[in-house]
């Protein structure tokens, strides 16, 4: 349970079984290793209904095991409440961004900052591509990008 006056971040991708659970797990481990995880509410969600109720993709689970990052999640779709209860909603590509901005317009008083996670990348790789039709190397790329971006995002929110 996050402490009062805490910070909150929701990671979002198309299906919530590939990119966003990896980002959530990487950020949670980073915050825990920095001793600040109790200050954060951390979650992930999907723009679509494709995979609701499913665990993370097996290729992503294997990637997380290779890097000793715990990952446990059940895919859910983003809700109207998310747009007022999370400070940040960080997504992976332009399709996610336009879907989220459209959904935010249907919420009375959306307050979440909706951004590309890649906008925090020191290597300026803005888009985290969907690895669904890819292979292990594509999940490794997602992991490396999430590592860089989550580190920079955490440092920007001490």
Which residues of this protein are in contact with ligand 6LJ, per CB under 6 A?
14-15, 17-18, 50-51, 130, 132-133
Q: If you search the block for the tokens 């998310």, which residue do you land on?
A: 82
Provide the minimum distance between the beta carbon of 7 and ligand 6LJ in the complex, in angstroms, as a whole number: 27
Q: Using the minimum distance from each CB to ligand 6LJ, give the nearer residue, 16 or 110.
A: 16
Q: For the chain, how are helix, strand and coil distributed in percent, rounded to 5?
A: 40, 15, 45
The CA angle 59-145-26, to the nearest 5 degrees, is 65
Q: Which one of 130, 146, 149, 150 is the catalytic residue?
A: 130
91 in catalytic set: no
**Signed CA dihedral, 13, 85, 106, 79: sign only:** positive
138 in catalytic set: no
19 in catalytic set: yes
Q: Using the minimum distance from each CB to ligand 6LJ, give the nearer residue, 50 or 88.
A: 50
> Which residues share a beta bridge with 10?
43, 89
Query: Taking Cα atoms as reference points, which of 45, 21, 37 lies closest to residue 114?
Result: 45
Residue 136 CB partners (closer than 8 Å, separation 6+)? 59, 62, 63
If phi > 0 it is left, if psi is from -120 to 50 it is alpha, else beta; for residue 16 that is left
Provide the minimum distance between the beta carbon of 130 and ligand 6LJ in the complex, in angstroms, as a whole number: 4
Tokens of 141: 């790329």
Provide the minimum distance between the beta carbon of 141 and ligand 6LJ in the complex, in angstroms, as a whole number: 14
Residue nearest to ligand 6LJ (CB): 15
Q: Using the minimum distance from each CB to ligand 6LJ, give the nearer residue, 105 or 133.
A: 133
Q: Using the minimum distance from each CB to ligand 6LJ, give the nearer residue, 31 or 63.
A: 63
Q: Which one of 18, 19, 146, 150 is the catalytic residue?
A: 19
Provide the minimum distance between the beta carbon of 68 and ligand 6LJ in the complex, in angstroms, as a whole number: 24
**Catalytic residue positions?**
13, 19, 130
């Amino acid at each position: 349970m996050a402490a009062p006056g805490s910070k909150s971040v929701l990671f979002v991708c198309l299906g919530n079984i590939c990119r966003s659970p990896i980002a959530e797990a990487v950020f949670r481990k980073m915050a825990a290793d920095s001793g600040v995880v109790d200050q954060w509410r951390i979650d992930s969600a999907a723009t679509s209904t494709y995979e609701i109720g499913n665990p993370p993709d097996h290729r992503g689970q294997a990637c997380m095991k290779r890097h000793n990052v715990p990952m446990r999640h059940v895919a859910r779709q983003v809700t109207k409440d998310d747009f007022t209860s999370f400070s940040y909603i960080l997504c992976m590509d332009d399709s996610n961004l336009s879907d989220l901005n459209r959904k935010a317009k249907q919420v009375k008083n959306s307050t979440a900052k909706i951004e590309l996670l890649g906008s925090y990348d020191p290597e300026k790789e803005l888009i985290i591509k969907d690895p669904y039709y890819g292979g292990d190397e594509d999940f490794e790329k997602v992991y490396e990008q999430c590592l860089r971006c989550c580190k920079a995002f955490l440092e920007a929110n001490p």
